[in-house]
Structure 1
Amino acid sequence: MKAPLTLLPEVADALAGGRAVVALESTIITHGMPFPQNVETARAVEAEIRAAGAVPATIAVMGGRIHVGLTGDELDQLGQAKDVAKLSRADMAACLAQGRTGATTVAATMIAARLAGISVFATGGIGGVHRGAELSFDISADLRELAQTPVTVIAAGAKAILDLPKTLEVLETYGVPVIAFGQDEFPAFWSRGSGLPAPLRMDSAGEIAAAHLMRGRLGLPGGQLVANPIPVEHEIAFAEISPVIEQALAEAADQGIAGKAVTPFLLDRMFEITAGRSLASNVELVLNNARLGAAVAIEIARG
């Protein structure tokens, strides 16, 4: 049986012609920002990919279909939709079967990208091991997805609200290549540095593409995580953002917020505490990842 995929003609033509396509998630639209900034940001990210010579494919579940690439009207519709499901591997099929609207997380976007034949996915930051996971067992499905789905993911590291050392340990256990782009230190989303060494370093899109293609030749399952540091002019230093994260985490614990609700709550509180600075940095790092994603996709298409 075929998966219920609806490809935007621009995306279908690019894939048929062997041209570079970059997948994009949709939770940043439905759960990351208010309307209209969410749609404006989504369009800006798509524009960056086109300007770099690749084709963007924003992915979402709508009307019982996985849409790979959205029209302008569909972006507006998604940006204003209510009660949108936040989809990962566990609930993606149920959402499709029920005909609901769902936004794709890292894991769900990787699944859809693989089904469509897209090798590269650009996002903000991946999920990971939550702080206190030794008691809560709260670990994002993104990590296991990276271990089993052959898509190269470009992100600004893992979200800094997470337990970064444990996240790196789990990725190592799962055999996921973690590649810092252009530096030796693992970036921490809003910050270029985390104090943690990156397992691997690569300095060009060509190197990343070559590693992706080599994994395919070796028959290795899973993808790669490329940790692309936020541009220096847009970063919030780790020492500055850490107290803000601690405050937001304490408030989440006091209010009993858990599971999928944690990350949106924390991001909202950090936006408020930093007077919008955290969101502005978030937008810039996503644009930066889109540019690198396009460069890697172009190199893979040439490979």
Structure 2
Amino acid sequence: MFSVRLCFLSSVHTPENIFRKTFLIENKRNIKNRKYQIDPQRKDPLGLTSLSSVQSSEMASSALARISNLQRHFDPTESNNNKGGSDGFCGDLIKISPEVSEALLRGDAVVALESTIISHGMPYPLNLETAKEVEAIVRTNGAVPATIAILDGIPCVGLSMEELERLAILGKRVQKTARRDIALVVASRGNGATTVSASMFFASMVGIPVFVTGGIGGVHRHGEHTMDISSDLTELGRTPVAVVSAGVKSILDIPRTLEYLETQGVCVAAYKTNEFPAFFTETSGCKVPCRVDSPEDCARLIDANTRLKLNTGVLFAVPIPKEHSASGSIIESAIQRALKEARDKNITGNAETPFLLSKVNELTGGASLAANMALVKNNALVGTRIAVALAQLRKSCNKGNAESVS
């Protein structure tokens, strides 16, 4: 497995060298050599051609901005106090699988995947089978899957089959980990299944622009009284990662969730429809401000959001396929009964959503779980196509820029 280390340069400050040395991805987590050695046999190790002064300046600025951003994530005290000199670097805080690392270095499509659905969303061995099928869908359609989790206190981006199986077997014994829980799980060397917010955080940290999930969290029903609002929404408001989902889980308050996303400045786009989907069903009765009809449309939207430096996520809401859509009235009836039971048992916080989903599945005779599996796989297919289109768009732009310079 690869580890991310960050090196800050003091000797050669040309824009090209700053760009070359921004990230150091090493094979050994405990490597002692802290300097980044460029292969002397290659004149241009990263494939950079001669650059104009304007482009060089832009590249250097972008590289330094990314260094600053990651340094702030990894070690805010060093960022503030500037301790450690020119040879300062972050510790072994995150592990990236070789497959994911190589794809990112090549600029190929990578799709981030959460792990909470594995540990808390489905029973074993169905959760493991579904996770493998989702990763297979991503690979078959031209991208590299990067399932995210925290194992033994180490955030991992890209899991091996053994790690996936371990996570699936542990199930609910793994801590459900949102952004607020990351430091605790890492510090205690625990195991964490990342929610949407935590998965977005790590995806952004390593440079994965597209993340696929079943459905995002949102404003809970009666949230105007409880203030129970998922951190997924605030993460979308501050982390530039595109999220592909079947909308908001139908156990939540969809209209208020959309209002909250608007307040956060998040672009919400429905895929091939004008109405926001309701997770188990295709429609929710809520209109969306933006519609996209192809992976290319989505890629252009993500690219524009990135180039404008809006620093927010984009939410792509993909309706569940018609053949798998459950009856809206049956689902709604089950949700109301599940909500009442949750209130009676005083089940709140991050335990509420898994309980509600499990109860709804029980009340619908397994229909909601089957629908959940179907929508996750469909989201993986659509999300992969978006990631591939985005990678192609960026490679095309880079090629065009290189040709204009030459």
> TM exceeds 0.5?
yes
Does 2:287 align with 1:197?
A: yes
Counterpart of 1:245 in structure 2 is 335
The one-letter amino acid of 1:9's match is P
Counterpart of 1:40 in structure 2 is 129
Does 2:241 align with 1:151?
A: yes
Distance in 2, matches of 1:240 and 1:157, equals: 19
| Aligned residue among 256, 263, 269 for 2:353 | 263
Does 2:378 align with 1:296?
A: no
Counterpart of 2:180 in structure 1 is 90
* Contact kept in structure 1, 2:112 and 2:208, CA below 8 Å: yes
Does 2:107 align with 1:55?
A: no
Counterpart of 1:114 in structure 2 is 204
Q: Report the secondary structure of 1:216's partner residue.
A: helix
* Contact kept in structure 2, 1:192 and 1:237, CA below 8 Å: no
The one-letter amino acid of 1:126's match is I
Counterpart of 2:255 in structure 1 is 165
Counterpart of 2:98 in structure 1 is 9
The one-letter amino acid of 1:276's match is G
* Contact kept in structure 2, 1:57 and 1:70, CA below 8 Å: yes
Cα offset for 1:147?
0.6
The one-letter amino acid of 1:184's match is N
Map of 1:278-289 to 2, 5 A cutoff? 278-289=368-379
Counterpart of 2:268 in structure 1 is 178
Distance in 2, matches of 1:224 and 1:252, equals: 31
Q: Report the secondary structure of 2:176's partner residue.
A: strand
Following TM superposition, the consecutive aligned residue runs of length 4 or more in structure 1 with deviations greater than 4 angstroms are: none
Distance in 2, matches of 1:126 and 1:206, equals: 23
Q: Report the secondary structure of 2:184's partner residue.
A: helix
Summarize the Cα distance change of 1:3–1:93 in structure 2 as closer, same or farther, 3 Å threshold: farther
Distance in 2, matches of 1:76 and 1:217, equals: 39
Distance in 2, matches of 1:257 and 1:86, equals: 15
Distance in 2, matches of 1:240 and 1:134, equals: 26
| Aligned residue among 100, 111, 117 for 1:28 | 117
Unaligned runs of 5+ in 2: 1-89, 394-406
Distance in 1, matches of 2:115 and 2:265, equals: 27
Q: Report the secondary structure of 2:243's partner residue.
A: strand
Counterpart of 2:44 in structure 1 is none
Cα offset for 1:134?
1.2
Does 2:171 align with 1:75?
A: no
Cα offset for 1:2?
5.3
Distance in 2, matches of 1:108 and 1:160, equals: 21
Counterpart of 1:235 in structure 2 is 325
* Contact kept in structure 2, 1:110 and 1:121, CA below 8 Å: yes
Distance in 2, matches of 1:109 and 1:2, equals: 20
Distance in 1, matches of 2:326 and 2:284, equals: 12
- Render the CA deviation track for 1:132-190: whole Å, top value 9, x for unaligned: 11111100000000010000000000000000000000001111001000000100000
Counterpart of 1:141 in structure 2 is 231
The structure whose RCO (Cα within 8 Å, separation 6+) is larger is 1
Cα offset for 1:115?
1.1
Q: Report the secondary structure of 1:100's partner residue.
A: coil
Q: Which has the larger radius of gyration?
A: 2
Cα offset for 1:238?
2.2
Unaligned runs of 5+ in 1: none
RMSD: 1.0
Q: Report the secondary structure of 1:148's partner residue.
A: coil
The one-letter amino acid of 2:180's match is A
Cα offset for 1:3?
6.4
Distance in 1, matches of 2:388 and 2:378, equals: 16
Counterpart of 2:50 in structure 1 is none
* Contact kept in structure 2, 1:158 and 1:189, CA below 8 Å: yes
* Contact kept in structure 1, 2:213 and 2:245, CA below 8 Å: yes
